[in-house]
Each structure stands twice: as C-alpha cells, then as structure tokens.
Amino acid sequence: MQNIPTNALRALAAVYLAGGIRPAGRMLNVAHSSVSRHLAELEALIDAPILEKEAPGRGIAFTGLGERLGREAAESFTKLNQAWEAARERRAANSVVISAAPSVAALWLLPRLPVLSGAHPSIEVSVLADQRVRGPEEEGSDLAIRMGAPHPDGGSQPLMDDALTPVLSPRLMSRAQAARGGHATVDQLLQDLPLLHDRDPHAGWSYWTKAFGPKGLDLAHGSRFASSDLLLRAAQQGQGIALARLRLAADSLATGALVRLSERTVHLPDAYHLIGCAERAARYAVRSVRSWLLHEASRDDLS
C-alpha cells in the first residue's frame, strides 16, 4: 500500500470523471497545474502515456492504458468516498431513509407520511428523491421504492399494482366537448387534443391504444416529460391529455384539478416493488416502516 501513488491516482480519477484537467482541478479545489503534475508523475511511474498527446477537436483523450486506469481509479475513489460518508454519518437507531423516484416520493409517499408518523411517532423518516436507479447501499437509504416488477434475485418484493388512464384538466375537457357540440366520444377527444407523454417506459400511450384504440392515433407528436409529477402538472395546466398512473394522480383527481377522460384502465400488475439495505434490514425502525409501507399500499383503492 505504501507504493501506491494515492494523490496522483485521485487526480487521474477526477480527470476521468470531470472530462478534463481544468474541471478536475475545480473538482479537487486545486490548481490545474497540480493535476497535470500528478498525471506526469503517473506516466513516469508506469513508463507509458496516459493521455493522447494529440486529440484535435476532441478535447482530452485517454490512451488505452489510461482509459483502464482512469476508470478503475474513478470507481475505486467513488466507492471509497461513499464508504467514508457512510462511516461519518451517525444515524440514530430510530431514523429511516426511504428513497424513491421524485414523482413517487412527491405524489404517493409524502402525503402518507403523517399517517406513518401517527402510527410510529418515535421513528424519524427522511425521503431521498432521485431519478437514478441505484441500490440502497450505494445511495445510503434503508428502503427504496422502485417502479416495475421485483428483481428475480429475491432481493425485492412486490409493493403494489397500478393502472393507466387518460386524464386532463376540467376546463380543457369542457372546451373540447363544446367544440364537438357536447357529445364527443373518448376516441374523438383523443384525436382532437394534444397527447402528453411520460418518459416512463411503462406508461406509454401505446399501452392504451393497444387495449382500447383508436387505431391510427398519432403517438409521435406531443410534449414529453421526464417524470410523472411534471406530466400531471402539464395536464392540470390544460396542455393536453396525459396517460397517468392512477396512484400518482389520485390527489389531483380527488381535488378536481384533473378529471378522467374514461373510466377504462390498463392494469399494471407489477407497478412498484420494495427493496432494502441488507445491512440495516434487521433494525426495528426499518422493519416497522417496511411493514407499514406494505400495509398502506394494500389499503389503497384503485377504483
């Protein structure tokens, strides 16, 4: 271990992650000349170049050896940093961190936390909202709600199903009906109004048209949104019709901010699953919150 040039490898990892010497210097809060010296030190130690000397128009470019060494250094320092941050954290025994996609966190989990607090007043729950799909150990959560079916390796369990149905603002519905003389069908309104698209691969309009039509509906056009909460907000503003997950649209439908275009739904049997951090699974607080989440999910009515 004494022979490993730790500082120089750390500089290489920063260059690999940041994509350049100057941004690596900013990442490490050192002068870029210091980063360059570290790279030169590594090249001298291994007696081989790490960076291509000429990369016109491409910015920085690694040699084959530099690419492998940079990738390994970046992965190693990233894991080391995560382990260090986890070691520094003094999480109380009654603290539980739940991670979820931002839309699930905002539209399903947060409205239910007061109920959880009432059932378990001694447990402190924190919510981590992140679009990136990572394991609980990597992101520092105790429990994670994920979209889709459980993993086949047995490390996760089903949480709840969901259903897709078209929704829109009541004002847009009234205008569209009036334009058709007050007697427009679902298919006519789908053809008349813009479709709003969720980038969620399990909530595409093709699911609806395959089940209910209409045939030939143009799915290539319409605004696209990175999360379900943005999709629903756009629908509330009257931008078009959204194919929504009922569990996430429930509050907007209950308040009248959105209305359903049709009572028909496309069932998603494996809509969400729950995974946990193996190292903390046995803690009383984690076990209690896991049981509560499963119970709360089973109580929800999709009708």
CATH number at 113 reads 3.40.190.10
Q: Among 56-60, 74-78, 278-282, which stretch is predicted with the lowest mean pLDDT?
A: 56-60
The domain tally of the chain equals: 3
Per the prediction, the chain carries an average pLDDT of 88
Query: Do residues 141 and 213 both lie within one domain?
Result: no
Shared domain check, 168 and 155? no
Q: Is 1 part of a structural domain of the chain?
A: no
Does residue 187 share a domain with residue 42? no
Q: Give residue-wise pLDDT tens across range 60-119.
A: 788 989 999 999 998 998 888 777 766 555 567 788 999 999 999 999 999 999 999 999
Mean pLDDT is highest, among 113-122, 213-222, 231-240, for: 231-240
Pairing of strands 143-147, 266-276: antiparallel
Q: Please determine, for residue 29, whether its predicted confidence score (pLDDT) is greater than 50.
A: yes
**What's the rounded Cα separation, in Å, for the pair 274 and 294?**
9
Q: Where in the sequence is the domain holding 79, given as residue range(s)?
A: 6-88
Specify the pLDDT at position 89: 56
Q: Is the dihedral of CA 249, 250, 252, 256 positive or negative?
A: positive
pLDDT of 55 higher than 60 = no
Residue 58 has pLDDT above 60, yes or no: no
User: Percent of the chain, pLDDT > 70?
Assistant: 93
Confirm if 95 and 124 have CB atoms less than 8 A apart.
yes
CA distance 174 to 273: 38
Q: How confident is the model at residue 57 (pLDDT cuts 50, 70, 90)?
A: very low
Say what the pTM is: 0.68
Both 42 and 190 in one domain: the answer is no
Per-residue confidence at 4, pLDDT binned at 50, 70, 90? Answer: confident
Which residue reads 């308040």 in tokens? 255
**Alpha-carbon gap, residue 210 to 220, rounded angstroms:** 15
Last residue of a domain, one of 66, 88, 110: 88
Same domain, 170 and 138: no
179-200 residue pLDDT tens: 999 889 999 999 999 999 998 8
